[in-house]
Copies of this chain bind each other. A is one copy, B any other.
């Protein structure tokens, strides 16, 4: 009998559950709408049923499971297994590990926040594999970061370290979801990129985006559309990604200097811009960091995308039960 592991990636929209074998090969995945409006108990029951279904499909039972790992949006106490606060799920102090563990008949459940699980996955099996000091950053609806040293996640006081998206930048003033103004999240997130392009169009700057999204349709513009315009040689799109890259570099300069990662793995929707974003980012970054960092830092795009959270959660849980 071999032990298997479950990784769960829960977001405001969808839940993805994955079943992995002992060597952390992803055998099977399933995805369902979160239905967060139905409350935490509904969601946790749904996850338990998704897990049972995955097991049944592979002709396994709960006794074949070593542990369950779960990446959650918001603030988590990974030691007590509690979701302290999640704006996306509308959860406050939900004892996730205890409740889901009970629903699964006592299987150990380990949780952490989503960017930590994502980074854990990329470090274990993706772009961070083989490095001792891995920083992960997701540029999605928001921005978050995590740091892993020799397999250990960095937490700090209250497990609150890594909110790279939430330091106001000089000269910037867009209102951030956190209530402050000019945070990196207002600029280098997928939503930030779209906002900046939209504001340029509103000021009457010319761009192929104005043809693609006439009038009110400009509100439909996404970060992906800006990459598409960039590839058409659009000057506005190029300016947007240069502006975003320069600001991302300012945050990364502090992260490199304080954390000293070997590698930075960049994921999330906005990372699909790839070198269109990373090239101007590097150009600004290098003069902002000491030569000793400049000479060693590797900056890569994430490799696992949708699977990083699931695999990372399972790998995290495996480490916990093996410890």
Residues of A at the B interface (CB closer than 8 Å) are: 75, 132-133, 145, 147, 149, 154-164, 166-168, 170-171, 178-180, 250-251, 253-255, 257-262, 287-293, 296
Contacts and interface: CB of A to CB of B under 8 A. Distances in A.
Contacts of A290: 163, 166, 178, 180
Copies per assembly: 2
A157 B250 CA distance: 20
A132 B157 contact: yes
Contact of A258 (B132, B158, B159, B255): B255
A156 B254 contact: no
Nearest to A85: B292
Contacts of A289: 167
Contacts of A178: 290
A124 B190 CA distance: 44
A156 B261 contact: yes
A260 B155 contact: yes
Nearest to A181: B287
Contacts of A164: 257-258
Contacts of A147: 258
Contacts of A288: 167-168, 180
A183 to B, nearest CB: 9
A254 B257 CA distance: 10
Contact of A259 (B179, B258, B261): B258
Given A168-B288, A254-B255, A258-B258, 4 more contacts: A133-B157, A145-B258, A166-B290, A258-B259
Contacts of A171: 170
Q: Which of A149, A251, A260, A288 has the most CB of B within 10 A?
A: A260
Q: Which of A163, A178, A258, A288 has the most CB of B within 10 A?
A: A258
